[in-house]
Amino acid sequence: MTNEQFEQLIQVLNEIKDEINSLNDNVNITNSALSRIENNTSPVYDAQDICNKLDEVITAIEINS
């Protein structure tokens, strides 16, 4: 993989992370609007977990490129 391809991959992963954070913000707004409804389920991974994993992947790619 070329340096340009690594940079493109990192850019795409960062865009995915930003989109997840944006979606998570929208979910939080919706959840607060629906706070009277009790929700007993929780996702296995929340948006922050996914973003943390993406950060780990990005760091690993940067180190190995």
Res 4: pLDDT: 85
Write out pLDDT tens, residues 19-56: 887 776 666 655 655 555 555 555 556 777 888 888 88
Q: Is the pLDDT of residue 59 over 80?
A: yes
Res 30: pLDDT: 59
pTM above 0.85? no
> Domain segments of the chain: what residues?
3-35+42-64
Output the DSSP codes for 1-65. --HHHHHHHHHHHHHHHHHHHHHHHHHHHHHHHTTTS------SS-HHHHHHHHHHHHHHHHHH-
